[in-house]
Amino acid sequence: MRPKIDVKDIFVRILVQFIFPLAGLAILFSVLPQWEVREHWIILFIYAGLTVVCSFAPVITFNTKLTLNNAVILSGILLYGTWLGVWSAFIETMILAVLFRSALERVLFNVGQILLTVWLVSGVNQLFMTLGVPWMVSDMLLIGIYLLANPTLAAVGIHHFMKYPFLEVLVGMLKSSAFLYLLLMAIGDIGARLIQYAGFWAIIPLVVTFFLIRTVFRQYHQSLGEIEGKVEEVKQLNNSFLIAMAASIDARDPYTHGHSYRVAYFGREIAKAIGLPKQQVDEVYFGGILHDIGKIGIEDGILNKNGKLTEEEYAKIKQHPVIGYQILLQAGVFPELLPAIRWHHERMDGLGYPDGLTGEQIPLMARILAISDAFDAMVSDRPYRKGMPVEVALERIEKALGTQFDTELASQFIKLVREIPEDELQRIIHTTGHESIMKEE
């Protein structure tokens, strides 16, 4: 079979490997006529030095990290024209490339990318000057152009080198850093105008302001990190609490020891197999851990009875989903787990309990746990009977597809159980504690 030719990929490759570097080179040489040797070396030296220093003094917020480089370059364009923006950006990119030992292909792209941005902004600036647009207006527009051009061109490179979707990268960059970017560019712009109208030393209060802003962001970032740590601690505590609850539920009935863990474990495997996000996978797990919490409200005599239950006793047992639901509802904790507790005995055909829900009326979490609950009940040993072989249990589930169980979910479950090696499956089925199952994570 002939390999498929992706036209878009070829276009991006040409753009990144040829157009960007060639454009960069052309821009670099096109500004040479503006060069005035006597005064320009020192200015270029200061600007290139400043951009490199700025690369090592980023402003960090909770989800992004930006430097003043582009702001410095913008001020260079405004004060001295295109040549300074172009050459300081070029020298900075080259110095960083040497320091970080970047690959040649990336360096060429970076040079092209930044020089194209500078050239575009400078060109528009000159147009504004020719048209006589007041600088207060044109500066703001230039910052806007910088903000759009820089990430758009950078996103082309990220798409090419890292294979991330172009639009996703661009929107992500703008969403996370547009305002910080605008703030830093505004600092560069104000700096340029201060120097222009009040002399070079007017830059001092601005530099102080920048470092204060940076410190405020850093403090904010640090305290955010501390809060995140605390949230993680509380989460761990919650999880430990849930595990302890499961142990106390299972302890009521020594013969079904470990049932909650196993239901949770297989529920989580189904959730992972159908591609649920991590948070929902965790919810299914903890829903499984707590699903039978209502059994706390059922008397021992019924719960631990060895023989067949009378109709009245069975009716009482059937109350455990609602009892559990009420316990959690009144306590006002783990609201996200309520569906697992109330509806794990519902059936797709509406013959389950307590509410006789049908099909997709039953929340996904409960449909998943109904399968792992039934499976564990069938394969685990009881004092009055041995657990049935796994294959027999799976066949029973297969027979109840669409009536008792969600066809899609149960099919996934059957498939995933059949893929677990026999000795591993036996270990899981006979596990009695959270830790031994978690070892597999």
Judged by CB, which is closer to Fe ion: 85, or 287? 287
Residue 376 found at the interface with Fe ion (CB under 5 A): no
Say if residues 116 and 24 touch (Cβ distance below 8 Å).
yes
- Least separation in angstroms between residue 293's CB and Fe ion is 9
Judged by CB, which is closer to Fe ion: 269, or 346? 346
Q: What stretch of H or E contains 66? A: strand 65-66
- Residue 85 sits at φ, ψ, to 5 deg, of -60, -50
Smallest Cα–Cα separation from 76: which of 33, 131, 115?
115
Give the per-residue contact string, 283-302, with Fe ion (x = CB under 5 A; - = no): ---------x----------
**Cβ-based burial of 254 (10 A; exposed 0-12, middle 13-18, buried ≥19):** exposed
Judged by CB, which is closer to Fe ion: 193, or 305? 305
Judged by CB, which is closer to Fe ion: 133, or 317? 317
The DSSP code sequence of 282-311 is HHHHHHHHHTTGGGGGS-HHHHT--SPPPH
Judged by CB, which is closer to Fe ion: 92, or 292? 292
Smallest Cα–Cα separation from 289: which of 248, 343, 233?
248
- Least separation in angstroms between residue 237's CB and Fe ion is 26
The DSSP code sequence of 355-375 is S---GGGS-HHHHHHHHHHHH
- Amino acid residing at 203: I
Judged by CB, which is closer to Fe ion: 192, or 328? 328
- Count residues binding Fe ion (CB under 5 A): 1
- Amino acid residing at 24: G
- Amino acid residing at 119: W
- Least separation in angstroms between residue 345's CB and Fe ion is 6
How far apart CA 67 and CA 324 sit, in angstroms, is 54
Give the per-residue contact string, 173-202, with Fe ion (x = CB under 5 A; - = no): ------------------------------
- Least separation in angstroms between residue 332's CB and Fe ion is 22
Judged by CB, which is closer to Fe ion: 72, or 298? 298
Q: Which residue is nearest to Fe ion (CB)?
A: 292
- Least separation in angstroms between residue 352's CB and Fe ion is 11
- Least separation in angstroms between residue 404's CB and Fe ion is 14
- Least separation in angstroms between residue 295's CB and Fe ion is 7
Residues engaged in binding Fe ion (CB under 5 A): 292
